[in-house]
Amino acid sequence: MSDDLTDAQTAAIPEGFSQLNWSRGFGRQIGPLFEQREGPGEARLAFRVEEHHTNGLGNCHGGMLMSFADMAWGRIISLQKSYSWVTVRLMCDFLSGAKLGDWVEGEGELIGEEDLLFTVRGRIWAGDRTLITGTGVFKALSPRKPRPGELAYKEVAGG
């Protein structure tokens, strides 16, 4: 993919969202992805459905929506616990589809934790339409240095 954003990618990004700096790996291939920070330990992810996200019917591919759900729901572990993590299980109920040009948002809520296994309830939506609801189970791999926006992050005075 090119590093240049297309017209669709830069058009009408809702206020409060900023592009995630995922410049390598899978996030780059399916992006760009955007984030809206709602407070320490909270964030919403989003993307605009573009041609490279669509299936043969011109709708957002279910695999893209599931990949996005995986990232949007699992992100709560990074934000609230500052752990690197992997997905153990992702269960999704598809309720509606997203069309080319739709702005899709998602977020997860941490509802359980035991033995470094985290259970998250999540939702993906476009406007007033819920696209997916579901749950994920994520395994914490290792703690890492907290980053800005995470509950454990503390700014160092003087830089």
Each of the 159 residues of the chain gets a pLDDT tens digit; together they read 445 555 555 567 889 999 988 767 887 888 899 999 887 888 899 999 999 999 999 999 999 999 999 999 999 999 999 999 999 999 999 999 999 999 999 999 999 999 999 999 999 999 999 999 999 999 999 888 888 888 888 765 544
Q: Give dist(CA 105, CA 113) in Å, integer.
A: 25
Under a CB-based contact definition with an 8 Å cutoff, are residues 5 and 47 in contact? no
CA distances from 34 to 7, 22, 24 (A): 15, 10, 15
Output the CA angle 40-15-73, nearest 5 degrees.
45
Q: Is the pTM of this model over 0.75?
A: yes
Q: Give dist(CA 119, CA 108) in Å, integer.
A: 10
Q: Give dist(CA 151, CA 110) in Å, integer.
A: 13
Query: Hey, is 60 helix, strand or coil?
Result: strand
